[in-house]
Amino acid sequence: MKNKLHYLNKEALQAFLSYTLLFILLSYLIISKKYLQLVVPRLVPFLVFMIFILCLFMVDSFKNLFRKKYKYNCQKYAPLFAVFFLLMFLSNHDLSILQYPNLIAPKRPISQNIGKVTPLPSKTLTVDEEAKKTILEAMKIPAAPTNKIAVKQPKSTEETVKEVPKAPALAVVSNKSLDDFIFDDEIIEQIPIKQEANNANLEPIILNSNNFYNELIKITNKIDDYQGQTLIIEGYILRDKTLFSTGDFYLARMAMTCCIADIMPFGLVCFAHGKYDYPDGTWIHAEGKITKTTFFNMPQAGLKLEKVKVIEPIEGYIYP
């Protein structure tokens, strides 16, 4: 044994250690779904590829463990150890603080439910499902199978929808100052009433973590078909003083496109009509009617709030 140790290749040992540790940690992150705190699910195949290659590396470095060399380059593996320790630390740490805009958690609790952060990130997906169930129970609608999106397509109505001229594709921003774009409640009132009445009878659209992004995009793209339909949405309040003067706000969730470096709030405008004066960052369950508005000349979906309830923050991001 002593003889063997004499031959130990320090560099191969470091390599073997770093590959093995990363291999175990990555597998753990994927199995426990904790990777969702840092990167999007789309990357899983690539992470599995990395695990596979790390396996090959492990075998290779193990084979060389007892082949002594004159010179070792041991700094080479420092980045791998650094990433290992970082991931170790972060996977054991509560990262929910990053889900709030501008690093601010809700400052003062409105009710006792607020500000309490559920500690387990692995609950990510279940919390939402539970929330959805309670909503459905409250509304006495039979719960749809969990994996299916509980959304019904709006029926095509005979009513001719008033064509709103679409903004030219690239006409995004001109040199006007921001004050010209302040939202006005009058903009909304151009909905054909019959259409709205028709849509009001449709089943409500319920947004959860899985369909939040796609549904909102769908609604925005075909806003004319959705006007007046009920939307149930959960998110936090995000105010922008330069855009909304009348106490309106964004109801948003943090969206992650690729990794934690690019998270940003994503949501829709809620017209509060002066009510619901919750502070920024409050998580609410909101119910309202979809309405049409414009944002820098692009048609956008808005929500006329009808029912609002303060809820516990939802763990996890939405992944476009």
Interface with other proteins in residues 181-200 (CB under 8 A) = none
Is residue 82 involved in binding other proteins (CB under 8 A)?
A: yes
Tokens 């140790």: give the residue.
Answer: 5
DSSP of 101-115, one letter per residue? GGG---SS-SSTTTT
Q: Which is nearer to other proteins, 131 or 268 (CB)?
A: 268
d(CA 248, CA 182): 11
Shortest distance (Å) from residue 84 CB to other proteins = 9
- Nearest-Å Rg of the Cα atoms of the chain is 26
Per-residue H/E/C for 221-270 = HCHHHHCCCEEEEEEEEECCCCCCCCCCEEEEEEECCCEHHHCEEEEEEE
DSSP 72: -
Where in 242-271 is the site for other proteins (CB under 8 A)? 255, 257-262, 264
- Exactly one of 4, 75, 148, 189 binds other proteins (CB under 8 A); that residue is 75
Shortest distance (Å) from residue 261 CB to other proteins = 5
Shortest distance (Å) from residue 106 CB to other proteins = 13
Tokens 């084979």: give the residue.
Answer: 63
Where in 92-121 is the site for other proteins (CB under 8 A)? 93, 95, 97-98, 102-103
- Exactly one of 273, 296, 306, 307 binds other proteins (CB under 8 A); that residue is 296
Where in 26-55 is the site for other proteins (CB under 8 A)? 35, 37-39, 42-43, 46-47, 49-50, 53
Tokens 């690239």: give the residue.
Answer: 170
